[in-house]
Amino acid sequence: MKFRTVAVVAFLALAALLGVASPAGTAAAAPVSDDPSTKAVSCSGTITYSRTHPSGLGELVIYYNSSNGGTNSACFYHRGAAYGHAAYTYVEIIRCTQRSGEGQACTPATNPDTDGGSFEYYAGPVGVTGTANYCVGAAGYIDWRGTRYILTSGRQGCPN
C-alpha cells in the first residue's frame, strides 16, 4: 500500500506541471459504470474539472455534489477513435490534505478510490466524501494501441 500512495503522489505531482484550468459547468447525469450494480457513487453533479487529452482519446472529469459533507467523483471517458472500443482504462480520486492551491500537487489524505479494466466507454465512477473543505485530485489513463495516454488534475475543487 505504501508504494501505491507514493505512486498516487507522483501521479498527482505531475498534474502540477500538466494541469490546465477548464471552465466549470453543470452536467447531466452520466451513466454510472459499464456495470451500474458495482458502484455506490455516480459521475453527476457540477463539473469542477474537465480536461481532454491532446490525443483526443480520453477525458478526465471531476464532479461535485454537496451530499455526505461534499462528494467528489471522477470518470475517465473514451473519446475520439477510442469511443466504443475496449481498452484498458483507469481512474482514481483522492481527498487532499490541502484546502487551497488549485493545480498544484496533492498530498493524499485518503487512500484513492480506483477503477480499472477493459472498458468500451469509461472507467469509474470513483468517489470520495467529506470534501466540502478540501481539495481533491484525480488521475486517469487509457492504453490505446500500445501507448498509455495519461491525464492528471492536480488539486481541484479547493474551497480557498
Strand order in the sheet with 71-78: 25-27, 45-52, 58-65, 71-78, 122-129
End-to-end CA distance of the chain: 30
> Strand, coil or helix: what is 98?
coil
- 79-114 pLDDT, tens digit per residue, is 999 999 999 999 999 999 999 999 999 999 999 999
Q: Does 7 have pLDDT greater than 70?
A: no
* Cα–Cα distance measured from residue 93 to residue 37, given in angstroms and rounded to the nearest whole number: 20
Query: Is the confidence at residue 4, as pLDDT, over 80?
Result: no
- In this predicted structure, the answer to whether residue 62 has a pLDDT above a threshold of 50 is yes
Report the distance separating Cα 73 and Cα 41, nearest Å: 7
pTM: 0.78
Average pLDDT over residues 63-91: 96
E strands, 12-158, in order: 25-27, 45-52, 58-65, 71-78, 87-95, 113-119, 122-129, 136-144, 147-152
Q: What is the pLDDT of residue 81?
A: 98
C-alpha cell read off for 92: 482514481
* Span 134-145, average pLDDT: 98
68 vs 130: CA distance, rounded Å? 6
- Residue 41: its pLDDT value, please? 82
Note the pLDDT of residue 40: 64
Residue boundaries of the structural domains of the chain: 2-152
